[in-house]
A and B are shown apart, each in its own frame.
Chain A
Amino acid sequence: MNVTVKYFAVCHEMLDRSEEEMDLPEGATVKTILQRLEEEWPEIAEFYEVMQMSVNWEYATENTELSEGDEVALIPPVTGGLDV
């Protein structure tokens, strides 16, 4: 199945792309994507402590199962607004 994976802020910069299509096996979860990214970018594991993931605009867990056409995103720590 195909899913879209989006990268924002520091993830966008470090992976040097803002999104990509991934072809995943049936039964794949969010963790499948994280493992695949780790092969390309081992340091990403250090970010997992503070990073969140979303599936179809909702925060997800590593175990969230994916379906054809899902939109997944890596969400670095959010800092909207200002320090006021």
Chain B
Amino acid sequence: MFKITTEVITGAEVREAVEGPDAGAVVLFFGTVRNNTDGRAVRCLEYEAYPPMAEKKMAEIAQEISEKWGIPRVAMVHRVGKLEIGEVSVAVAVASPHRKDGFEACKYAMDRLKQIVPIWKREIWADGETEWVKPDAVFFDAPKPHKTDPQTD
């Protein structure tokens, strides 16, 4: 399951998407809306996505996990629209034979999601101002493929 949704994300749907008799562990991760960013009060968050590309990139991350850990089932769901404090914005589920690989793969999935999946977050501050969130340093490790390719230019 790789999905961009406007609906409330439930733990059951992502768990059910990955469960199976060969799993000894199901690792679930939920990202939830925090009431502050670096101490500044947040009223709510707004997420925007490029859904077809986002779902394609999520599937690619699952493929990477399959190749790295041999884990066959990963689910990723990200919600878009306006989210209130405490609501789930993103969920990742990984089913693996053993917990160690499951935890590692789940972390990897979130790290990669923040690098390559086209989703943007806007903070709506308690004072009413709004601001598109700038990426953290991890983005700058990602390739910037729009640059002129030195081999062909």
A residues lining the B interface (CB < 8 Å) = 6, 8-10, 12-13, 30-31, 34, 48-54, 57-63, 73, 75-84
Contact = CB atoms under 8 A, between A and B. Distances in A.
A55 to B, nearest CB: 10
A52 to B, nearest CB: 5
Given A48-B146, A61-B149, A76-B120, A81 B53 contact: no
Nearest to A80: B119
Contacts of A63: 148-149, 152-153
Interface string B45-73: 00111101110100000000000000000
A13 B116 CA distance: 21
B146 A61 contact: yes
Contacts of A59: 116, 143, 145-146
Contact of A80 (B114, B132, B144, B148): B114
Contacts of A57: 50, 52-53, 56
A79 B136 CA distance: 8
Interface residues of B, number: 42
B134 A78 contact: no
Interface of B: 31-34, 37, 47-50, 52-54, 56, 78, 89-90, 110, 113-122, 132-136, 139, 143-149, 152-153
A81 B146 contact: no
Contact of B114 (A31, A49, A81): A81
Contact of A82 (B34, B52, B145, B149): B34
Contacts of B113: 80-81
B90 A79 contact: no
Nearest to B109: A81
B47 A75 contact: no
A61 B52 CA distance: 19
Contact of B145 (A50, A61, A80, A81): A61
